[in-house]
Chain A
Amino acid sequence: MDPLLVELGEAKMKDVEPILVRIEAASDDSVLPLFRTLLEGNLYYIEAEGQVVGQSDVNGETVYKDVFTQQTRTDLQKGDVDKIRVNNKLRGYLRNAMARIQLTAKSPSVRENAVRELLSKLDDDTVEVLEGLYPNETNKKVKEAMGLALAMNTASQTGLAPSNRIAAIEKMSTSLESDVRNLLTRLTRDDSAAVVSAANAALEKIAQRVNRFAFVDQLFFGLSLGSVLLLASIGLAITFGVMGVINMAHGEMIMLGAYTTYVVQLIMPNYIDYSIWVAIPAAFLVSGLMGVLIERLVICRLHGRPLETLLATFGISLILQQLVRTIFSPLNRQVSTPSWMSGSWEINPVLSLTLNRLYILAFALLVFIVLVIVLKKTSLGLNVRAVSQNRNMAKAMGVKTNWVDAMTFGLGSGIAGIAGVALSQLTNVGPNLGQSYIIDSFMVVVFGGVGNLLGTLVAAFTLGIATKFLEPTTGAVLAAILVLVFIILFIQKRPKGLFPQKGRAAE
């Protein structure tokens, strides 16, 4: 083993693969940590000793550990080691090699994944191994996967009798794996007519199911876009809908929230996973306070002049943008995704929902519900509703309208800040972040009906889903244009949006 490691450490990248083949052939599953470390790009070579070592980051410090024994090597410095580099080709090889080794792993899920990984690379050796393992496999799922692999092998053997192959094809037709579909597509060009028709039938059967899942997938995309729109516009629904203030700086409140996330992660670089939980209240406070400040300094002097709040807040948005540009530079800032939010929830081979979007969807709904409760059940909410319906009356009843205005605006802005935390997980954190959402937000609020939170919810999801279902046929740009034109026409038909306020009070 050791001479091979020396070779590995000193080889040029293009010579590495044959060495890895030899390492794989010469060893058992004990080589797994080596391959894994190499795959992650953390394998280093100690030239002086002819040994390899794994590097990892613990609380910001570089630590070296022996790959096989996991013992920490404190004697090594950065200069003593050279990185063993990998490229995509090697990564592909490593992944397959690990799968081959893991076919006999203890955990059934690892075994199943290994089998699925190998579906696309069914060479004779692998098939032989699988055939040996199949009869003794106890876990149902793993056995199914192995059966599928063997069926694929059978189906692709042109030398076998068509009846055997057709039976194998039928077995394959219950699978949604893309490798299965690719194989079946190849089989439709087979010499045997019976095989061709069986493959076609199987493909059709699979296609039906795939289409069903594709629909679910698209629906999820729509809901996810809707949740982003909801988050971006819900703060506006309060400042614009309840207070009648056209806050052009709303987008910048979102931006502040996103930058707050960045700063929080900067302060606690080793606790990225928890940073979101700190960032949410922090962003709420930062944007909320900024909102209160803007309300007290500018907006409270513009009561009853809604169109002029537009101009003043536009000025504010310019100032805020330039402010972050000056403080944080015009470059985008890096916000990391916590590990629990990365990746996706794989329901089956054709349907997987990305976790971050799933969380954001849930988060948007949660924010919405909390907001509704705040407005319906708390005394602040009561005051807010009273002021929005009849300012003078509320004043006469002893409501401190100034205070309520400041709090309402702060609440709306704070929620925009929270939206910024969510958006920082999806898109750029830069000075232009807010700009890209402001128009969409206004569309959502107007479409839903000003002053109606439920309307905002329905409008956000309607627009999100509509956009996503239009996109495949029209392309992203045309879909956006069509949605805008639709809103323009819709407002002509129903000038007060989906859920208008009715009766004399609305006049």
Chain B
Amino acid sequence: MKIKTLTSAIVLSGATLIALPSLAADTIKVGVLHSLSGTMAISETTLKDTVLMMVDEQNKKGGLLGKKVEAVVVDPASNWPLFAEKGRELLTKDKVDVIFGSWTSVSRKSVLPVLEELNGLMFYPVQYEGEESSKNVFYTGAAPNQQAIPAVDYLMNDLGVERFVLAGTDYVYPRTTNKILEAYLKAKGVAAKDIMINYTPFGHSDWQSIVSDINKFGSEGMKTAVVSTINGDANVPFYKELGNQGISSEDIPVVAFSVGEEELSGLDTKPLVGHLAAWNYFQSVETPENEAFIKAWHAYTKNSDRVTNDPMEATYIGFKMWANAVTKAGTTDVDAVEQAMIGQTTPNLTGGVAVMNKNHHLSKPVLIGEIQDNGQFEVVWETDGVVAGDAWSDFLPGSKDLISDWTAPIKCGNYNTKTKSCSGQNY
């Protein structure tokens, strides 16, 4: 008896796991791999909604290649190994043609081997540390040279900052960004004693000592600024502490790379007015494209208070480019779409045109905004034209000889220009 129950239980579960091959390919499937629960749900649910909105719009325009576009949503629950598992599920079970997903670097790193093994295609919409270029991933967020370096230039040239506090959460994005910035600042003649580097754990909530240290560092007679790569949740207590210790943006401005409209919506912004952020997009930029996008977003979410932000624009550009590339290639086959993607252009929401480069990164404009008391940013500076995303930083000793070029004849994500060799490829 018990053997029977046991067998049937196991066979049953096994049977349900075995995916029935999808019957007909009359839809084009778009996988959405964003956490809907756990710590990253805060940021990622918005992107899920963005993809769903884009799918909706595409279908209203008649779909793609004459087929309907269908979104398949899964929840990797902010659990990094689950990103690999769910990625595999999307690719083998649901047989999606493209995935939009991931936020944290570790989730991308987790799903990457699966994408390369099964030759999937993913669009990654978040600013990141660079040092990567996979055949199967398109990076529509900013690389360090599209965010960090212009921001520091602005601080030095326009605000006359001479001392820098590089404050970040202890993970790979801040570490790499700060490494790059440190090398860059030193190359610009900033002395080592004028750079203070500080790392805190995820969700750090007690900023008293660190803010007070920053205050001391900043009151030694030279204009000081904080370059913040502090992640998500830790920002609110950080800014609150800044406000309470009376550090205003004129004394010590903070320029952040991970604080956007979404993060500010959970924050009383009055004490933050004047602090800065560097992005490729701000909701406040007034262009017809942006206005239409915001309107569509409000209509889709049925909530006119919802804000838009940079990763949403990155998702928007990624989706548009993918749709165009599929149309151009006439198929959703990954290799064909990958080649069709290179050179694709899509108007930015902030004006100008984004171009997909040979290294799978975008050329985009860089904007610097000051936080306003309504939770929006006021653009105070922007690059003259677009900046091409750099997969491999020139300021890191390990990667200065590396380039990425996915067109013939190189066709390599990390090609060493000195040794003329290609390493670390999984396909």
User: Which residues from A are CB-within-8-Å of B243?
Assistant: 342
User: Which residues from B are CB-within-8-Å of A496?
Assistant: none
Q: For the complex, is B370 an interface residue (Cβ under 8 Å from A)?
A: yes
User: Which residues from B are CB-within-8-Å of A224?
Assistant: 208
Q: B209–A355 contact, CB under 8 A? A: no
User: Which residues from A are CB-within-8-Å of B37?
Assistant: 322, 325, 330
**A 472-487 binary contact with B (CB < 8 Å = 1; else 0):** 1001110010000000
Chain B 234-291 interface residues, beta-carbon cutoff 8 Å to A: 236-237, 240-241, 243-246, 248-250, 253, 262-263, 265-268, 270-271, 273-274
Nearest A-chain residue to B233, judged by Cβ:
A428
User: Which residues from A are CB-within-8-Å of B212?
Assistant: 217, 221
Chain A 1-23 interface residues, beta-carbon cutoff 8 Å to B: 13
Q: A430–B380 contact, CB under 8 A? A: no
Q: For the complex, is B199 an interface residue (Cβ under 8 Å from A)?
A: yes
User: Which residues from A are CB-within-8-Å of B159?
Assistant: 88-89
User: Which residues from B are CB-within-8-Å of A330?
Assistant: 36-37, 41-42, 45
Point out the residue from B220, B240, B262, B370 that lies within 8 Å of A178, measured CB to CB. Answer: B220
* Measured CA separation A89–B225 after assembly (Å): 13
Interface size on B, residues (CB 8 A): 54
Chain B 146-166 interface residues, beta-carbon cutoff 8 Å to A: 158-159
Q: A357–B244 contact, CB under 8 A? A: yes
User: Which residues from B are CB-within-8-Å of A225?
Assistant: 206, 208
* Measured CA separation A87–B208 after assembly (Å): 27
Q: A182–B221 contact, CB under 8 A? A: yes
User: Which residues from B are CB-within-8-Å of A217?
Assistant: 212
Q: B219–A178 contact, CB under 8 A? A: yes
Q: A468–B209 contact, CB under 8 A? A: yes
Rounded to whole Å, the gap between the CB of A225 and the closest CB of chain B is 5
Q: B221–A92 contact, CB under 8 A? A: no
Segment of A100-108, A331-339, A410-418, A453-461 in the binding face: A331-339
Point out the residue from B200, B219, B378 that lies within 8 Å of A476, measured CB to CB. Answer: B200
Chain B 173-203 interface residues, beta-carbon cutoff 8 Å to A: 198-201, 203
Q: A426–B250 contact, CB under 8 A? A: no
User: Which residues from B are CB-within-8-Å of A357?
Assistant: 208, 244
Chain A 292-337 interface residues, beta-carbon cutoff 8 Å to B: 322, 325, 329-337
Chain B 23-42 interface residues, beta-carbon cutoff 8 Å to A: 36-37, 39, 41-42
User: Which residues from B are CB-within-8-Å of A218?
Assistant: 209
Q: A356–B244 contact, CB under 8 A? A: yes
In the complex, the number of residue pairs spanning A and B with C-beta atoms less than 8 Å apart equals 141
User: Which residues from B are CB-within-8-Å of A178?
Assistant: 219-221
* Measured CA separation A87–B263 after assembly (Å): 21
Interface size on A, residues (CB 8 A): 60
**A 332-351 binary contact with B (CB < 8 Å = 1; else 0):** 11111100001110100000
Q: A228–B206 contact, CB under 8 A? A: yes
* Measured CA separation A436–B232 after assembly (Å): 14
Nearest A-chain residue to B246, judged by Cβ:
A344
* Measured CA separation A431–B271 after assembly (Å): 24
Chain A 167-188 interface residues, beta-carbon cutoff 8 Å to B: 178-179, 181-183, 185-186
Whether A427 touches B236, Cβ cut-off 8 Å, given contacts A88-B250, A476-B201, is yes
Q: For the complex, is B372 an interface residue (Cβ under 8 Å from A)?
A: yes
Rounded to whole Å, the gap between the CB of A283 and the closest CB of chain B is 18
* Measured CA separation A143–B295 after assembly (Å): 59
Q: A476–B221 contact, CB under 8 A? A: no
* Measured CA separation A337–B267 after assembly (Å): 10
Q: For the complex, is A85 an interface residue (Cβ under 8 Å from B)?
A: yes
User: Which residues from A are CB-within-8-Å of B370?
Assistant: 87-88
* Measured CA separation A91–B253 after assembly (Å): 12
**A 435-479 binary contact with B (CB < 8 Å = 1; else 0):** 010000000000000000000000000000001100110011100
* Measured CA separation A178–B159 after assembly (Å): 21
Rounded to whole Å, the gap between the CB of A95 and the closest CB of chain B is 6
Q: For the complex, is A99 an interface residue (Cβ under 8 Å from B)?
A: no
Nearest A-chain residue to B205, judged by Cβ:
A427
Rounded to whole Å, the gap between the CB of A257 and the closest CB of chain B is 16
Q: For the complex, is A429 an interface residue (Cβ under 8 Å from B)?
A: yes
User: Which residues from B are CB-within-8-Å of A41?
Assistant: 273, 372-373
Rounded to whole Å, the gap between the CB of B188 and the closest CB of chain A is 20
Q: B221–A331 contact, CB under 8 A? A: no
User: Which residues from B are CB-within-8-Å of A428?
Assistant: 205, 233, 236-237, 266
Q: For the complex, is A432 an interface residue (Cβ under 8 Å from B)?
A: yes
Q: For the complex, is B170 an interface residue (Cβ under 8 Å from A)?
A: yes
Q: A332–B233 contact, CB under 8 A? A: yes
* Measured CA separation A425–B380 after assembly (Å): 30
User: Which residues from A are CB-within-8-Å of B249?
Assistant: 88, 91
* Measured CA separation A334–B272 after assembly (Å): 14
Nearest A-chain residue to B269, judged by Cβ:
A334
User: Which residues from A are CB-within-8-Å of B199?
Assistant: 475, 477
Q: B201–A185 contact, CB under 8 A? A: no
Q: For the complex, is A200 an interface residue (Cβ under 8 Å from B)?
A: no
Point out the residue from A87, A342, A346, A432 that lies within 8 Å of B39, measured CB to CB. Answer: A432
Q: A13–B244 contact, CB under 8 A? A: no
User: Which residues from B are CB-within-8-Å of A153?
Assistant: none
List 28 A-B pairs, Cβ < 8 Å: A41-B372, A41-B373, A87-B370, A91-B248, A91-B249, A217-B212, A331-B45, A331-B265, A331-B266, A332-B42, A332-B267, A333-B266, A334-B266, A334-B267, A334-B268, A337-B268, A344-B244, A344-B245, A352-B246, A354-B245, A427-B240, A428-B237, A428-B266, A430-B233, A431-B41, A432-B233, A436-B205, A475-B198
B residues engaging A (CB < 8 A)?
Answer: 36-37, 39, 41-42, 45-46, 158-159, 170, 198-201, 203-206, 208-210, 212-213, 219-221, 233, 236-237, 240-241, 243-246, 248-250, 253, 262-263, 265-268, 270-271, 273-274, 370, 372-373, 378, 380
Additional pairs, 18, CB under 8 Å, beyond known A91-B274, A428-B205: A88-B249, A88-B274, A92-B250, A182-B220, A185-B221, A221-B208, A330-B41, A331-B42, A331-B46, A334-B268, A336-B270, A344-B245, A344-B246, A354-B241, A355-B244, A427-B237, A477-B199, A477-B200
CB-based closest 8 A-B pairs: A332-B266, A182-B221, A178-B219, A354-B244, A330-B41, A221-B208, A92-B250, A336-B268
A residues engaging B (CB < 8 A)?
Answer: 13, 41, 85, 87-89, 91-92, 95, 120, 178-179, 181-183, 185-186, 217-218, 221, 224-225, 228, 322, 325, 329-337, 342-344, 346, 352, 354-357, 425-432, 436, 467-468, 471-472, 475-477, 480
